[in-house]
Amino acid sequence: MLFASARQTVISIRMAQSVTPLQRLKFNNVALKKLPLDSSLEPGSRTVTGACFSRVQPQPLLKPTFVAVSEAALALLGLNADDVLCDPHGAEYLSGSRVIPGSEPAAHCYCGHQFGHFAGQLGDGAVCYLGEVEAGAEQSSNPISTSPCGRWEIQVKGAGLTPYSRQSDGRKVLRSSIREFLCSEAMLALGIPTTRAGSLVTSDLYVQRDAFYSGNPRPERCSVVLRIAPTFIRFGSFEIFHPVDDFTGRHGPSVGRTDIRAQLLDYVIETFYPEIQRRHLDRQARNASFFREVTVRTAKLVALWQSVGFCHGVLNTDNMSILGLTIDYGPFGFMDRFDPEFVSNASDKKGRYSYEAQPYVCLWNLARLAEALGTELQSAKAGAILDEFMTIYQDCYLDIMRRKLGLLRQQEPEDVELVADLLKTMHITGADFTNTFRLLSAVSCPAGEQKDRDSTDSVVELIVEQCASLEELKVANHPTMHELEMILSMAETNPGMFNMVANQPEVAKQLEKIGRLKELLVINEVELKIKQRDHWQRWVKQYRRRLAHECDEVSDPAAVEKERVRSMNSTNPAVVLRNYIAQNAIEAAERGDFSEVQQLLKVLENPYSVSADLERPVWSAGSGSVQADGNSIKGQEVKENTKTKAAADTHQIPYNSKPPAWARTICVT
């Protein structure tokens, strides 16, 4: 008996030693226990009624292999890179090709308003919920890296068909997966609430994709991103109860099921807003407090987006997190040349989701969430909360902009005008958004010395170098032909009507463009640079006057100046995930060289640092970046002699450079 017991102990120890960290993940899949679950595994797309989740079976990839992993994101699960990379089945587990012990694959049911219209049932068409993992022992002190429930939901995006796939194949390709993987981690490093990306896996399975809807599809490699968040529940999750829509005629699959709506709302508040649950005994008061917190988080989130020039691209209600996280990275973009009308999504022809529209769209989406909550939220109370949104947003935005300008000691009413004049100057001159803010820390606080004036002149020259060329500004200020024809026709045929509409915002905007274009058509490049320099000298003079107030009545102005510079350089990033930088990494990876994705991740994890990695040249897209073995994540260092040869044939661009001219041709849909 003693021998048998000892033998069993040895066997248990050996079995424990053979179990990998991925296999030891502790799952506690609360969402599937507390919310209605559709257990049918019926193949094909279908309407799912009376359920928030559906069980699914992920489809395996062919020869899955790691492209990159994020150490910081994996740490949320108590894992490190070696735990994943050294696991013989690691790439299979994290692509949905093999089920992790304890996981329960499922897809989430939700609806949404897309481009302003109710679209009916949408759901996770390419995403598979794997489960909820108990948080790692060492949790970050950073609030945007903690989970209120102590668990992290993990998903695989691109794992195949679900009941919500509609006409798609449930797959994602390397191109879009690289963008989501990198941007998820880049946003965290910028201090912006976001879902996370733990790993990126690609494969030898190919699907046909027509990236530009041009009728020319090409085969692309199926790839999967491991996504991590406390929950991926979104505004659209509450729209599955939507009644028949007056405009589209569509309705939610669970219309009339107020019992499930109450169940979902209770789950969200109890699990992710426990402090609100504890604070309120009255249900209506609790729900109003919850809605206000979602409103506040959303207002602060979009203020952060605006402060770094981030444009989401598809701000439908189904892409709005109930936790105030940036979610669902698709045709996003970081603005290069400052343009309030910047649209990152080439499919958004009318500019509904432009950079300047984002705060208003978020408010509109919140109103749809209030409607979706129905009788759970008093309409008068919801209206009062929504009325607070723009004030919350504007206060948060101004606070961030003060930090970006190093205005740390005083808050003056004139700061609103200073920021507005800065953005107007950036717009008129076509200045690079990211690099201009970064350069402003070199503007000195006035001390009345010639050295200060010389220093200021040199900063202005550097900013002018970041401004747009004459040709670029001509293109940027050219109104669309339809709008131009309408305005000119009205001015000629009906002057009275023209005078009536000339002050309307859209018409006024087009007239302003025509005026700027007229000026640009009669000057040359040298004259443009003189004008740009004049604009910036005027604004910098205004800025320095404001900086002088920061030093009023201080005993050590040098210390104040030093702190200002430090603060600005830790608020204004030196690098963001510009489209051309992502494109270089994508093109290299599509040739089998994953080293650029890994290198770029390191750079984006430290966006405020100017390091050797930041200055490392990026090869111009499409022009012969070197080949490397794509089957291993380790040892992918490009040989120096190959780099030297490539450098002779390509244009080298540091990560923090103003984008090259070809970057403007990149189209993201």
Confidence class for position 512, pLDDT limits 50, 70, 90: confident
CA distance 93 to 611: 35
DSSP conformational letter for 446: P
Neighbours of 642 (CB within 10 A): 13
Confidence class for position 17, pLDDT limits 50, 70, 90: low
Over 80: is that where the pLDDT of 490 sits? no
Asked if residues 94 and 151 have their Cβ atoms less than 8 Å apart, the reply is no
pLDDT in tens, 284-326: 999 999 999 999 999 999 999 999 999 999 999 999 999 999 9
Q: What is the pTM of this model?
A: 0.91
Instruction: Calculate mean pLDDT across residues 438-451.
Output: 78
Instruction: Calculate mean pLDDT across residues 189-207.
Output: 98
Residues of the chain with pLDDT > 70, as a percent, come to 86
Instruction: Give the mean pLDDT of the chain.
Output: 89
pLDDT in tens, 37-81: 999 999 899 999 999 999 999 999 999 999 999 999 999 999 999
Give per-residue burial for 57-94: e unless 16+ CB within 10 Å, then b.
ebbbbeebbbbbbbebbbbbbbbebebbeebeebbbbb
Element (H, E) at 281: none
Confidence class for position 641, pLDDT limits 50, 70, 90: very low
Strands (E), 231-342: 310-311, 333-334
Residues with a catalytic annotation lie at 318
pLDDT of 447 = 65
The H-assigned helical ranges of 345-465 are: 358-373, 379-404, 414-429, 433-439, 450-465
pLDDT of 453 = 63
Over 90: is that where the pLDDT of 629 sits? no
Over 90: is that where the pLDDT of 508 sits? no
C-alpha dihedral sign at 89, 92, 93, 98: negative
Over 50: is that where the pLDDT of 11 sits? no
Instruction: Calculate mean pLDDT across residues 610-639.
Output: 48
Confidence class for position 272, pLDDT limits 50, 70, 90: very high
Alpha-carbon distances, residue 644 vs 315, 546, 581, 620, 649 (angstroms): 43, 48, 20, 14, 9
Over 80: is that where the pLDDT of 483 sits? no
CA distance 149 to 322: 14
Neighbours of 531 (CB within 10 A): 16
Over 50: is that where the pLDDT of 642 sits? no
Confidence class for position 637, pLDDT limits 50, 70, 90: very low
Instruction: Calculate mean pLDDT across residues 553-570.
Output: 91
Over 80: is that where the pLDDT of 504 sits? no
**Domains of the chain, residue spans:** 7-372, 433-570
pLDDT of 6 = 53
pLDDT of 635 = 38
pLDDT of 431 = 98
Among 27-36, 135-144, 453-462, 528-537, the least confident range: 135-144
